[in-house]
Amino acid sequence: MKKYRVAVLAGDGIGPEVMREGLKVLRAVQSRFGINFEFHEVPVGWAGIDAAGKALPDKTLKECEEADAILFGSVGLPGRDPTLPKNERPERASLLYLRKHFELFANLRPVRLYPGLNHSCPLKESRFGSGIDIMVVRELTGGLYFGQPKKTEEYVVVDEEGSEGRRVFLRATDTMVITTEEIERIAHVGFEAARLRRKKLSSVDKANVLENGVLWRDVVTTVGKEYPDVQLEHVFVDNAAMQLMLNPSQYDVLLCENMFGDILSDEAAALAGSLGMLPSASLGETSELSGIRFGLYEPAGGSAPDIAGKNLANPIAQILSAALMLRYSFKEEAAACAIEAAVEKVIAQGWRTGDIASASEEGNRIGTTQMGDMIVAALG
């Protein structure tokens, strides 16, 4: 029996409610797939501040360091203690810290519009005839967000009349830097993801204007030679943004540098209709010792304080995040597919949490717990 140690950080708001359902589903796949999970549940976010005085308590960090993967809920409660400095607030002090601490360089955001949920997509049905099933793979540690120099400085303009006409302006500089090494490692993640899907990779760049884009295109093309079974195409970022609205079905994996991926992953996410349907994975390197790729898995949405504690939250994003953990960290592809198939079955049966129910589906509305139960039942 294969054993995996998982740090479980449910967090705030709807975090604990949806996490309960995620763990229920993981427990249900254990015996069927010969897996044994060791769950270590520890506080994070405001729950961490309440329990141990900080958003990422030492014990929580230690559990994460000893784990094979982190299953994360959500953190942040906008109404609580506005005097707490930004750097100590849960979003920065826990989530961003964990991403940096574990060098999670690849962000994966699958966006799928499930059959039966066409009403929740903002596009006309004629635009996505063959469905929407896209994986945005985003580089997380390089590019414009981290390049140096990054500064705001004063500069002075003096007009011809002299010091009377002296005006002071500010100039802000960000620098876009990406290295061969960074492109290579994210490209491998993209091609490997495509191999597990429909074997098409669309690499996004701005090679017609940016030096970064020229290097990106060259390196991705070279890495692509190692994956002859994956069809590679290059697309300019502005065109990718437009095509996502015009014909999203053409995309399988979209491979993007940091800023392009930030923007396109949100644009693509809007196509799935609800944040409650969107899982995500942030991956680090694969351990040479265990063969396990460390990762942090979480719903794309936040703590949804407006619906917290009311059994209204959609747990599917958390459950699908658990499936991603099985696929990308543990290479338990069959168990991951079984969870995804169970979610699809329950949606096809017509069961809906409030966020994905159309007006005519009121009678099929169920709560967070019932949705988890239905998915476990659908696992068989």
Q: Which stretch binds ligand NAD (CB under 6 A): 107-115, 131-139, 144-152, 296-304?
A: 296-304
Cα–Cα distances (Å) from 274 to 107, 118, 265, 277, 349, in that order, read: 19, 12, 14, 6, 19
Least distance in angstroms from the C-beta of 264 to ligand NAD? 18
Least distance in angstroms from the C-beta of 239 to ligand NAD? 28
CB nearer ligand NAD, residue 178 or residue 317: 317
- Is 48 among the residues that bind ligand NAD (CB under 6 A)? no
Q: Which of 54, 145, 199, 200 is catalytic?
A: 145
b/e for 182-205, b at 16 or more Cβ within 10 A? bbebbbebbbebbeeeeeebbbbb
Q: How many CA atoms lie within 13 A of 33 on its CB side?
A: 27
Query: What φ, ψ does residue 366 adopt, rounded to 5°?
Result: -130, 170
Q: Determine the residue type at 21.
A: E
- Is 76 among the residues that bind ligand NAD (CB under 6 A)? yes
Q: Which of 58, 81, 159, 238 is catalytic?
A: 238
Q: Is 252 a catalytic residue?
A: no
- Is 98 among the residues that bind ligand NAD (CB under 6 A)? no
Q: Which residue of 42, 272, 304, 379 would you call a contact of ligand NAD, by CB under 6 A? A: 304
Neighbours of 310 (CB within 10 A): 13
Q: Which residue of 8, 178, 307, 371 would you call a contact of ligand NAD, by CB under 6 A? A: 307
- Is 276 among the residues that bind ligand NAD (CB under 6 A)? yes
Least distance in angstroms from the C-beta of 299 to ligand NAD? 6
- Is 107 among the residues that bind ligand NAD (CB under 6 A)? no
CB nearer ligand NAD, residue 307 or residue 326: 307
Q: Is 58 a catalytic residue?
A: no
Q: Which stretch binds ligand NAD (CB under 6 A): 139-147, 254-262, 284-292, 295-303?
A: 295-303
Kindly tell me the burial class for residue 90, based on how many C-beta atoms sit within 10 Å of its own C-beta (0-12, 13-18, 19 or more): buried
- Is 306 among the residues that bind ligand NAD (CB under 6 A)? yes
Q: Please give the structure tokens belonging to residue 119.
A: 């009403």
- The helix or strand, by DSSP H or E, that contains position 324, with its residue range, turns out to be helix 316-324
Rg (alpha carbons) of the chain, rounded to whole number: 22
Q: Cβ distance 299 to 317 under 8 Å?
A: yes
Interface contacts to ligand NAD, rule CB under 6 A: 14, 18, 74-78, 91, 95, 275-276, 298, 301-307, 313-314, 317, 355
